[in-house]
Amino acid sequence: MSSSSSSRAGVMVMLAASLAGLAVAFYAYITPLTGVTGTLGAMAVIVTCLVLAGLSLVLPAMHGKVGRIVLRLIILAVIVGTAFAASLLHLWWLVAAMAIALVGLMIAMIRSAPAAQPTRS
């Protein structure tokens, strides 16, 4: 598998996890008796899942090392923040979705790293 397609696989995992998280958060927001129906916290995780989906679509289009690093750090902060908020809301499926998104970010980071050049001594 090439570096580009492996990196794309990581991005697709992040995108799928963020959309799954969006579905879980939206369900919790609109369904009565979930404990978070209509709350600001549930709306916040809906928004952060949408932001994460957008950022995962932007990541492959980024050019330049610094821009990619900054975007990956922002994505990491969104994933960790969403997982923390989901744990406070007791939305354990959303926490699991963010764990999967974190795995996708790791795949994208590891697979997009350039191969080490052999050095001459």
Smallest CA-to-CA distance from 59 within 120, 99, 111, 94 is with 111
| pLDDT at residue 4 tops 80 | no
Task: Record the tokens describing residue 100, joined without a space.
Answer: 């999967």
Q: What long-range pairs does 51-58 form, CB within 8 A, spacing at least 24? A: 51/78, 52/14, 52/18, 52/21, 52/78, 52/79, 52/82, 52/101, 53/15, 53/18, 53/19, 53/22, 56/11, 56/14, 56/15, 56/18, 56/101, 56/104, 57/11, 57/15
The predicted model scores a pTM of 0.87
Count of C-beta atoms within a 10 Å radius of residue 106: 14
pLDDT tens readout for residues 18-66: 999 999 999 999 999 999 999 999 999 999 999 999 999 999 998 889 9
Q: Distances in Å between the alpha carbon of 29 and those of 14, 69, 105?
A: 22, 33, 27
Smallest CA-to-CA distance from 36 within 88, 103, 102 is with 88
In sequence order, the 6+-apart residues with CB closer than 8 A to the CB of 42 are 25, 28, 29, 36, 89, 91
pLDDT tens readout for residues 33-44: 999 999 999 999
